[in-house]
């Protein structure tokens, strides 16, 4: 039985090609599939479970069908869709997880993250993250009318784009010391995450022992996925 991981689909109604490609991946990977983990930024933006979205509707239908066929589905928040709530997860037949997620993958002690918590050099973003992940901020935001939430989300998105243009690439990538500290503190040998859009397999040594960090790619020009079985891990691109 296999486990499938994907991240950073950034689904939006204006990009139906991404959704079609992801559905094709699910259809191809379904034989022998036991679990599916989506590690955040599933959507380009998410402003509450009542946000109208054709892409979200289609994904919920697809995932719930997969769940009915016996695949366990798990959703993790990203920096763009951290407001996904239990109502939407239920529509997907999925379990909503909170990072870090600890599990065994291919016989190795593993932690799953979205990946943004590893980017500690981006101090402006880390401060913003602390603010919007505060339960009180979330509750107050979700109480606002949908139109107001959409306007706020649009404004925050534009500010994020402007800020990113002013930052050097290394600031928005992971901090190596934070990676090592995370592996050590969680007592794992494998870290799987997305967020940075830099797909790769990184071999590390932590406290004299081999470790690995696998980065899932985004789904902008092509897809990326990681499939694991009892003995093997394979990170692969997926053409649209």
As a whole number, mean pLDDT of residues 66-83 equals: 97
Tokens 């009180």 belong to residue = 136
Q: Are strands 108-112 and 190-193 parallel, antiparallel or unpaired?
A: parallel
pLDDT at 165: 63
Answer whether residue 137 shows pLDDT above 70: yes
* pLDDT single digits (tens) 62-74: 999 999 999 999 9
d(CA 3, CA 229): 6
Number of domains in the chain: 1
As a whole number, mean pLDDT of residues 142-147 equals: 95
pLDDT at 153: 87
CATH code of the domain containing 131: 3.60.21.10
Q: What is the mean pLDDT of the chain?
A: 94
Q: Which residues pair with 192 in a beta bridge?
A: 112, 214
As a whole number, mean pLDDT of residues 219-236 equals: 95
Confidence grade of residue 166 (pLDDT, cut at 50, 70, 90):
low
Please report, for residues 19, 21, 62, 73, 117, the alpha-carbon distance to residue 25 in angstroms, rounded to integers and kept in the order given.
10, 6, 12, 15, 28
% residues pLDDT > 90 (the chain):
88
Confidence grade of residue 168 (pLDDT, cut at 50, 70, 90):
low
Residue 39's domain comprises 2-238
pLDDT at 159: 75
pLDDT at 156: 81
Tokens 């003995």 belong to residue = 231
Answer whether residue 163 shows pLDDT above 70: no
* pLDDT single digits (tens) 191-220: 999 999 999 999 999 999 999 999 999 999
Q: Are strands 33-39 and 72-76 parallel, antiparallel or unpaired?
A: parallel
pLDDT at 162: 67
As a whole number, mean pLDDT of residues 1-23 equals: 97
d(CA 12, CA 75): 17
Alpha-carbon Rg of the chain, whole angstroms?
17
Answer whether residue 108 shows pLDDT above 80: yes
């Amino acid at each position: 039985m296999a486990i499938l991981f994907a991240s950073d689909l950034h689904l939006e109604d204006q990009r139906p090609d991404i959704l079609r490609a992801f559905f094709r991946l699910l259809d191809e990977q379904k034989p022998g599939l036991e679990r599916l983990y989506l590690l955040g930024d599933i959507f380009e933006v998410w402003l509450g479970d009542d946000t109208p979205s054709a892409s979200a509707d289609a994904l919920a239908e697809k995932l719930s069908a997969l769940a009915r066929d016996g695949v366990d589905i798990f959703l993790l928040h990203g920096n763009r869709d951290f407001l996904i709530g239990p109502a939407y997860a239920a529509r997907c037949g999925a379990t909503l997880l909170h990072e870090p997620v600890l599990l065994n993958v291919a016989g190795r002690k593993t932690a799953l993250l979205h990946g943004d918590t590893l980017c500690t050099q981006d101090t402006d973003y880390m401060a913003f993250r602390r603010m919007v992940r505060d339960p009180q901020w979330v509750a107050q935001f979700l109480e606002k009318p949908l139109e107001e939430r959409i306007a706020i989300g649009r404004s925050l998105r534009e500010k994020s784009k402007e800020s990113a243009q002013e930052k050097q690439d290394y600031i928005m990538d992971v901090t190596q010391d934070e990676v090592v500290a995370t592996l050590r503190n969680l007592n794992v040998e494998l870290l799987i995450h997305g967020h940075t859009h830099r797909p790769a397999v990184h071999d590390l040594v932590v406290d004299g022992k081999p470790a690995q960090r696998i980065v899932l790619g985004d789904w902008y020009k092509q897809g990326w996925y990681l499939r694991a079985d009892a003995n093997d891990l394979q990170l692969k691109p997926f053409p649209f």
